[in-house]
């Protein structure tokens, strides 16, 4: 996580963290069981008849889907798209909260945000710098969750200590999403405002440069 950065998380559907998935299923009211260290989702309140089979299961962090529907991949996607999009959105939010709260950040709702067909939720993770001579101790990192579960982040100035914590949290989110963001593709740098060019800020290789 760098200062003055916009970043996109595209989740790999073949990877899920079991702990986060269980919490997402609890929030959605989905039925699941732990069988031989596998998390097996049995029912997602879907309209489709699964004919007694599971919807998906996760061993370690690798996901496998119901083989009956995979044979009809296009139909599967169309029939269960809304179900999986809802899961992706909950999974995304729970992952962000888990990693950033563990790093000492707190959740802040965006009360001015109005959801639409593409962007369904927006919130901030707020942190406070412990650097004694830092004159901008409070940092807000914005997260927008899209309809399909994609996450867009936006940051401005971040003090050095918070930058390190946020960077660790973002790396863990990458792991839970099963993806790696790429510089210039999923990670976009914003122009550093003139007033911050005399302060510490992040470079494209995530190093801190202190300017006097």
The CB density around residue 37, as the number of other CB atoms within 10 Å, is 9
Distance between CA 194 and CA 191 in Å, rounded? 9
Whole-angstrom distance, CA of residue 207 vs CA of residue 156: 15
Domain count, the chain: 1
* Tokens 């061993």 belong to residue: 59
Q: Say if CB 68 and CB 128 are below 8 A apart.
A: no
Domain holding 47, by residue range, is 5-209
Give me 167's structure tokens: 């960077």
Give the per-residue pLDDT at 170: 94
pLDDT value, residue 77: 47
Give the chain's residues under pLDDT 50.
Answer: 70, 73-74, 77, 204, 206, 208, 210-212
Q: What is the pLDDT of residue 208?
A: 46
| pTM recorded for the entire structure | 0.81
For every residue of 113-148, DSSP letters joined together read ----SSEEEEEEEEEE---TT-S--EEEEEEEEETT
Q: How far apart are CA 178 and CA 40, in angstroms?
A: 19
Q: What integer pLDDT is reported at residue 68 of this predicted model?
A: 59
- The residue ranges of DSSP E strands in 71-205, in sequence order, are 106-109, 119-128, 138-146, 151-155, 187-189, 201-202
* Torsion sign, CA atoms 114, 119, 123, 124: negative
């Amino acid at each position: 996580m760098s200062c003055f950065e916009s970043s996109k998380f595209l989740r790999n559907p073949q990877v899920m963290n079991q702990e986060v998935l269980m919490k997402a299923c609890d929030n959605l009211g989905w039925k699941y069981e732990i069988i031989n260290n596998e998390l097996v989702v049995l029912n997602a309140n879907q309209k489709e008849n699964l004919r007694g089979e599971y919807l998906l299961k996760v061993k370690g962090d690798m996901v496998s889907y119901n083989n009956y529907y995979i044979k009809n991949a296009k139909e599967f996607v169309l029939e269960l798209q809304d179900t999986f999009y809802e899961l992706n959105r909950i999974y995304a939010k729970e992952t962000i909260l888990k990693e950033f709260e563990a790093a000492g950040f707190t959740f802040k709702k965006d009360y001015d945000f109005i959801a639409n067909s593409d962007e369904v939720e927006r919130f901030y993770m707020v942190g406070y710098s412990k650097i004694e001579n830092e004159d901008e101790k409070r940092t807000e990192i914005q997260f927008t969750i899209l309809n399909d579960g994609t996450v867009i982040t936006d940051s401005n100035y971040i003090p050095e200590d918070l930058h390190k914590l946020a960077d660790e949290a973002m790396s863990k989110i990458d792991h839970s999403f099963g993806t790696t963001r790429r510089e210039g593709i999923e990670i976009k740098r914003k122009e550093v405002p003139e007033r911050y060019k005399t302060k510490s800020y992040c470079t494209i290789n995530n190093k801190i440069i202190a300017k006097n």
